[in-house]
Amino acid sequence: MGLFWFLGADLSEDLTRYGTYILTALASLLASAAAFATAVWNSERQREARLRAARAALPMALTHLTSVAKSGIRYSLKDNVFLNDPANLEKVSKALEIPTEVLEILRANIENSDEKTGLWLSLTISRYQVYRSRLLGMIADRDMRSTDEYRVDYAACWALYHAVVGHLYRFAREGVPPEDYFELDRVHSPMFERVGHPLAKHIHVTLQERFGDPSKRTAEALTFRED
C-alpha cells in the first residue's frame, strides 16, 4: 500500500526512485520475517509433538532403569569371592543391560526437552555407562581385586543412579520439569531394603558425605564432578 501511494504521489523523480527501492526492500523483509516466524512456529509444534510421543514411553524406560540400579546395588554388595571371579561377568552384564529401545526413548526425550530436563535425562545415560564399566571391569580384571571399599563405593554410585532416575518420574508422568535438586532421602532410599547388610551403614555415611549438601545434588554438579 505504501509503495502504491508512493508511486502515485507528486514527488521528485529521485525521491520516488529511492523511496521505491526502500519500500520494496521493506516489503521483502516483512515477508521474510513472516515466513521465518511461521517456520519457527511449525518447528516448535513439531518438537512438542515429538516430545509428547517420547514422554509417553518414558515411564516404562525409567522403570527399567530403576531395576538396573537395584541390580547394580545388589551385585556391588556381593561378597569379594563373587566379584573376583571373571566367570560371573556374563551374569552381571546381562543384569545391567539396557535395551536399545530404552536408550532410544531416552535420547528422544533429551533431544526434545528443555535444557534443564535434558541435562537430568542425559545423566541416566552418562552415569550408567560409567558405573556399568567400573563394576564389570573389576569382575573381569584378575589383577583388580575386590575389597569392601570398592563394594561401598560402587553401591553408593548405583544408589545415586537410582535417585537420578527417580527424580525424573514426575516429568515422565505429568510433564513437569524436574526440581533443581532431589531430596537427600531419595539417594538413601534404595539402601533401606538392605538394613541388615554389613556394609549398609558405611554406604549411608558415604552418601551423606558426598551428597549432604543440596548443591551436590543438582544436574550441573552431577554432570561435572567425579565421585
Instruction: Kindly report, residue by residue over 108-129, the tens digit of the pLDDT.
Output: 999 988 999 999 999 999 999 9
The reported pLDDT for the residue numbered 3 is 54
Backbone angles phi, psi at 181, to 5 degrees: -150, 155
**Domain ranges for the chain:** 2-41, 57-224
The C-alpha cell 520516488 sits at: 16
The C-alpha cell 502515485 sits at: 8
**What is 81-131 written as a DSSP string?**
HHHT-GGGHHHHHHHT---HHHHHHHHHHHHHS-HHHHHHHHHHHHHHHHH
How far is Cα 105 from Cα 61, in angstroms, rounded to an integer?
7
The reported pLDDT for the residue numbered 190 is 95
The reported pLDDT for the residue numbered 128 is 97
Does 182 or 20 have the greater pLDDT score? 182
pTM score of the predicted model: 0.79
The reported pLDDT for the residue numbered 196 is 87
7 pLDDT exceeds 60? no
Helix (H, G, I), strand (E, B) or coil at 218: strand
